[in-house]
C-alpha cells in the first residue's frame, strides 16, 4: 500500500511538473520569448547610463511574461489549462488567472533597432548604430541581444534667441535667462520640448492667450564638430491672435447655471461686485463666496496662473458639481470676455451609517451614525454639519469579570466650515489654487457603563486648515478645549480605581485649554517607485491659562475654579513606500512621540502631574504593534497581570513617550485581494517615575522593545478596504532580561499557546 501511494505521488508530481512547463503551449516552429539584453559597446558608460538604459528597456516590445520572485506563475497557470469550451476551470486558467506565452514571432527586431536608434539620437548620439541578434536557448526558448554602438555624444555649444522687435519677442528675450538649454549640456530632444513648454507658459502668464508650444521653432545646427548650435525662434506661420497680448474686458460668474436655461441666463443683467459680475437671479450665493475665489479681474492682463487658480478654487469649494470656464475675444480688439458656469450640488444631504465591531477579547458592539449636511449655509458656501451617533458594546466571550461590561454611548457634534480664513482683524487670502478653510465645532459625548460609571465629555474647537502645495498640508487649532466630567461611580468600581492609579486618572475630571498644529507631507502615487508620508504634530495646553490664572496657597492654579492641564506634546510619523513591482510594495513606518506635563494638581499637589489620559500614548492594537492587544503593552518592562476580577475592557497601559517601527510587505495578486507579511516593534514609557512602572532611560529602553510578526489579508472593495491581520509576539519585554525573545515558545499546534498569543485584528483601511 505504501509503495502504491509512493508511485501515485511520483506520477502526480511528474504530471504537475509537465503541466508547469513554460513551453507547453508554445506552437511548433516558434519559441518562448524570455526577454532582451542591452550591450553598450563602449567600456565607459555615461553618467546618465541608468536613465538611458531604462529608456531603452521601455521601448523594447513586447515584454516577456511577467514573473513573481523569478517565477512565471501566470504562465504556469495558463499552461495548466486547456482550450476552454465554456465557463469553468479552463476558462479561469486561460482567460482570468493565466497569461498566454509571449512568442518570439511577436518580436520585430528590425523595428526595435530603428526605435532604439532614434531614441539615442534624441539624446545626442547622432552617429549611433544599433544591431540585434536572436539568441536561442534550447529548442523552445529565445531571447534578443541588442548591441548599441553610441559613438560621440553631442553637447550644446550655443543657444541663440532669434526674434524680431515685437511685444512677444521682447517677452521671450527678457525671459531667456531662465532657459533650460545650457551650453555644455548634453543635447536632449526632451529638454528642447520642455523649453518650448517653458516659453509657452511664460507667454500665457503675460497675456498671450492663444499662444501654444507649436508656434515655437528650435533649429539644430550640427555642423560643428561634436557640438550643436540651437536657434530659438517664432514660426512664420503663427497666426496674429497668437502674437497678440490680451486683457480682460469682463469676468462673469453664473453660480446657478443650468443648460436648460442657458440663453435666458446669458441675456440677464448681472450684479457688479468688485471687478467681476455675478448673474444669479435666484440669489443662491452671496458675492463674498467669489471674492476670494475669482482671481481674474476686469481691466487686468490675462494671466494663466489666475485662470488656473480661479478654476481650481471654484472646484475645491466643494459646493459645485460642475465648473466650466469659457473665454471669447472681443472682435477687432485685444480684449477677452470670461464666463464661469457653475452647477451646484443639492444644498442639503443626509447620510446614515451602521457599523459593527468585534474585538479579540470577546467584546462585540454596534454603532449608528446620522449626518446632516448643508453645503451652502448662509448662502456663503459654508458647510454646516450636524452629526448624531449612538452605540453599545457588551462581552459575549473571553474572561468574565465581577462588574458588568455593558456600555452605551451617545455623541453629537455641530461643525461649521468656512471656505476662507476667518480673521476678524486682517484680510488674508493666499494666492494658491487650494481653498483655505476655517472650522468651528462643538461636541458632546456620553459614555455610560451602568454598573461602573458614566463619563461626559465636552469639546470646543476653532482652527484653520489649508494646503500650501500639492503635497504639503497644515492644520492649526489655536483653540482646542476639552472638559471631561465623570459621574455615578459605583462603590465596586471605586475600589478598582483606588488600586489602579492609571485607571483612576483616565476616569478623572479633565479640563484641557490647548492649541495644536499638524504639518503633513504626502506625495504618495501609484506611479512612484519611492514615495513618502511625514506628519509632525505639536500640542500645548495651559500655557496662556497658566499665566493669567490665580495661584493658590499650595502653588496650584485654577480657571473658573477648575483644575486644568498644563503640558507640551509632540510626535513625528514618517513612512516610506517602495514600489518593488506592479503588485508588490514594501512599506516602512517610524513613529516617535514625547509629552511633558507640568504644574500642580489641586486635588493632590504632592503627586506629580501627568499628561491627560486622552493625550497619553498607547501601544498595541490594529494600527500599532498588532501582536499585542490595544493598551496592554508597557510602559517599559511593566506588565499588567490578569488577576481575578480584572476588567479586560479597561486595558489602560499608557505613557508619555512612544517609539514604534513597522515594516510590511504587500502583495496584490488580484484586483480585490491583497496579502501582507509584517513585523512590528516598539513600546511606551513614562516620563516620570511612579511606584510600580519604569521610566524611559537611554541605557535601557532598547532592551524593553516588544516585537511581533504576522500575516494579513485585505479585501479591496474600492470604496473601503477590509483588513484581517493575525499576529503573534516574538519578544515580550516583561520577561527577565536574556529571556525576552520567545521563539522557543512558538507552538501553533498548542491550543493554549494559540489562545494566549495569536491576535486577530479586523479593521478598515491600511494600518499605515
The pLDDT tens digits for 274-327 are 889 999 998 999 998 998 899 998 889 999 999 999 999 999 999 999 999 999
17-65+101-149 and 247-344 share one fold: yes
Check the CA dihedral 749-751-757-761 and report its sign: positive
CA dist 356 and 393 (Å) reads 10
247-344 carries CATH number 1.20.1050.10: no
Kindly tell me if the per-residue pLDDT of 225 is higher than 90: no
Using 50, 70 and 90 to split pLDDT, how confident is the model at 165?
A: low
**What residue ranges do the domains of the chain occupy?**
17-65+101-149, 155-243, 247-344
Percentage with pLDDT > 70 across the chain: 89
Beta strands across the sheet bearing 247-254:
271-273, 276-278, 247-254, 335-344, 320-329
Q: Which three cell numbers stand for residue 724?
A: 484581517
Kindly tell me if the per-residue pLDDT of 650 is higher than 70: no
More confident residue, 607 or 660: 660
Q: Which CATH class is domain 17-65+101-149?
A: alpha beta
Mean pLDDT across the stretch 256-268? 85
Instruction: Identify the CATH homologous superfamily for domain 155-243.
Output: membrane protein fhac (3.10.20.310)
Strands of 599-740, DSSP E: 657-667, 673-685, 706-716, 721-731
Kindly tell me if the per-residue pLDDT of 739 is higher than 60: yes
Question: Strand, helix or coil at 653?
Answer: coil
* DSSP calls for 418-477: ESS---SSS----SSSSPPEEEEEEEEEEEEETTTEEEEEEEEEEEEEEESSSSEEEEEE
Using 50, 70 and 90 to split pLDDT, how confident is the model at 8?
A: very low
CA distances from 283 to 62, 332, 626, 732 (A): 60, 35, 55, 66
pLDDT of residue 419: 94
Kindly tell me if the per-residue pLDDT of 730 is higher than 80: yes
Using 50, 70 and 90 to split pLDDT, how confident is the model at 641?
A: low
Using 50, 70 and 90 to split pLDDT, how confident is the model at 20?
A: low
Using 50, 70 and 90 to split pLDDT, how confident is the model at 18?
A: very low
pLDDT of residue 197: 96
Mean pLDDT across the stretch 351-361? 69
pLDDT digits (tens, 9 = 90+) for 246-259: 999 999 999 999 88
- Cβ distance 327 to 337 under 8 Å? yes
Kindly tell me if the per-residue pLDDT of 401 is higher than 60: no
Say which DSSP state 16 is in.
H
More confident residue, 633 or 693: 633
- Cβ distance 191 to 122 under 8 Å? no
Kindly tell me if the per-residue pLDDT of 663 is higher than 60: yes
For the chain, the average pLDDT equals 87
Amino acid at each position: 500500500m505504501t509503495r502504491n501511494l509512493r508511485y501515485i505521488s511520483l506520477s502526480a508530481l511528474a504530471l504537475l511538473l509537465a503541466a508547469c512547463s513554460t513551453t507547453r503551449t508554445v506552437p511548433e516552429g516558434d519559441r518562448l520569448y524570455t526577454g532582451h539584453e542591452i550591450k553598450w559597446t563602449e567600456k565607459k558608460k555615461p553618467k546618465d547610463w541608468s536613465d538611458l538604459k531604462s529608456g531603452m528597456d521601455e521601448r523594447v516590445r513586447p515584454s516577456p511574461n511577467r514573473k513573481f520572485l523569478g517565477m512565471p506563475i501566470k504562465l504556469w497557470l495558463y499552461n495548466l489549462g486547456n482550450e476552454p469550451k465554456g465557463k469553468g476551470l479552463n476558462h479561469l486558467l486561460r482567460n482570468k488567472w493565466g497569461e498566454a506565452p509571449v512568442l518570439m514571432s511577436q518580436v520585430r527586431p528590425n523595428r526595435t533597432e530603428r526605435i532604439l536608434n532614434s531614441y539615442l539620437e534624441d539624446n545626442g548620439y547622432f552617429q549611433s548604430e544599433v544591431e540585434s541578434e536572436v539568441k536561442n536557448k534550447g529548442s523552445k526558448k529565445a531571447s534578443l541581444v541588442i548591441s548599441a554602438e553610441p559613438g560621440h555624444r553631442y553637447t550644446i555649444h550655443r543657444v541663440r534667441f532669434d526674434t524680431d522687435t515685437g511685444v512677444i519677442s521682447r517677452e521671450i528675450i527678457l525671459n531667456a535667462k531662465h532657459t533650460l538649454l545650457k551650453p555644455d549640456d548634453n543635447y536632449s530632444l526632451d529638454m528642447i520640448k520642455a523649453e518650448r513648454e517653458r516659453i509657452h507658459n511664460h507667454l500665457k502668464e503675460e497675456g498671450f492667450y492663444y499662444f501654444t508650444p507649436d508656434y515655437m521653432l528650435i533649429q539644430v545646427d550640427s555642423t560643428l564638430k561634436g557640438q550643436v548650435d540651437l536657434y530659438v525662434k517664432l514660426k512664420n506661420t503663427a497666426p496674429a491672435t497668437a502674437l497678440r497680448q490680451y486683457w480682460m474686458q469682463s469676468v462673469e460668474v453664473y453660480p446657478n447655471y443650468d443648460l436648460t436655461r442657458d440663453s435666458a441666463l446669458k441675456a440677464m443683467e448681472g450684479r457688479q461686485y468688485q471687478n467681476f459680475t455675478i448673474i444669479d437671479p435666484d440669489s443662491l450665493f452671496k458675492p463674498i463666496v467669489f471674492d476670494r475665489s475669482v482671481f481674474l479681474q476686469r481691466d487686468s492682463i490675462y494671466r494663466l496662473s489666475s485662470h488656473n487658480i480661479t478654476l481650481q478654487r471654484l472646484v475645491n469649494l466643494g459646493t459645485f458639481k460642475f465648473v466650466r470656464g469659457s473665454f471669447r475675444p472681443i472682435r477687432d480688439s485685444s480684449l477677452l470676455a470670461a464666463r464661469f458656469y457653475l452647477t451646484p450640488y443639492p444644498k442639503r444631504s443626509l447620510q446614515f451609517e451602521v457599523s459593527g465591531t468585534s474585538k479579540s477579547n470577546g467584546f462585540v458592539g454596534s454603532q449608528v451614525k446620522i449626518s446632516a449636511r448643508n453645503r451652502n449655509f448662509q448662502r456663503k458656501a459654508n458647510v454646516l454639519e450636524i452629526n448624531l451617533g449612538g452605540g453599545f458594546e457588551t462581552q459575549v466571550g473571553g474572561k468574565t469579570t465581577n462588574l458588568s461590561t455593558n456600555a452605551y454611548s451617545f455623541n453629537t457634534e455641530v461643525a461649521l466650515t468656512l471656505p476662507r480664513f476667518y480673521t476678524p482683524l486682517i484680510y488674508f487670502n493666499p494666492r494658491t489654487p487650494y481653498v483655505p478653510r476655517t472650522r468651528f465645532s462643538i461636541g458632546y459625548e456620553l459614555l455610560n457603563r451602568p454598573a461602573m460609571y458614566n463619563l461626559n465629555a465636552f469639546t470646543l474647537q476653532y482652527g484653520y486648515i489649508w494646503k500650501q502645495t500639492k503635497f504639503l498640508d497644515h492644520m492649526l487649532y489655536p483653540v482646542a478645549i476639552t472638559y471631561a466630567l465623570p459621574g455615578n461611580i459605583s462603590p465596586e468600581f471605586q475600589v478598582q480605581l483606588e488600586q489602579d492609579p492609571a485607571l483612576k486618572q483616565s476616569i478623572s475630571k479633565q479640563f484641557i485649554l490647548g492649541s495644536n498644529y499638524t504639518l503633513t507631507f504626502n506625495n504618495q502615487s501609484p506611479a512612484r517607485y519611492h514615495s513618502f508620508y511625514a506628519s509632525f504634530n505639536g500640542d500645548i495646553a495651559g500655557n496662556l491659562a497658566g499665566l493669567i490664572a490665580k495661584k493658590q496657597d499650595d502653588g496650584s492654579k485654577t480657571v473658573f475654579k477648575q483644575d486644568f492641564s498644563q503640558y507640551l506634546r509632540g510626535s513625528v510619523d514618517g513612512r516610506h513606500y517602495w514600489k518593488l513591482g506592479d503588485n508588490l510594495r514594501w512599506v516602512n513606518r517610524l513613529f516617535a512621540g514625547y509629552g511633558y506635563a507640568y504644574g500642580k494638581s489641586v486635588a493632590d499637589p504632592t503627586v506629580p502631574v501627568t499628561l491627560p489620559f486622552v493625550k497619553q500614548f498607547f501601544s498595541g492594537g490594529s494600527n500599532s504593534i498588532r501582536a499585542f492587544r490595544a493598551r496592554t503593552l508597557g510602559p517599559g518592562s511593566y506588565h499588567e497581570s490578569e488577576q481575578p476580577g480584572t476588567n479586560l475592557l479597561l486595558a489602560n497601559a499608557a505613557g508619555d513617550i512612544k517609539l514604534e517601527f513597522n515594516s510590511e510587505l504587500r502583495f496584490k495578486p488580484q484586483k480585490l485581494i491583497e496579502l501582507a507579511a509584517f513585523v512590528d516593534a516598539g513600546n511606551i514609557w513614562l516620563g516620570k517615575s511612579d511606584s510600580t512602572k519604569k521610566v524611559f532611560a537611554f541605557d535601557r529602553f532598547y532592551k524593553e522593545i516588544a516585537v511581533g510578526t504576522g500575516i494579513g489579508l485585505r479585501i479591496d472593495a474600492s470604496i473601503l478596504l477590509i483588513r484581517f491581520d493575525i499576529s503573534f509576539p516574538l519578544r515580550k519585554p516583561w520577561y527577565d532580561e536574556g529571556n525576552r525573545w520567545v521563539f522557543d515558545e512558538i507552538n501553533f499546534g498548542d491550543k493554549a499557546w494559540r489562545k494566549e498569543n495569536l491576535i486577530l485584528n479586523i479593521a478598515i483601511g491600511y494600518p499605515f
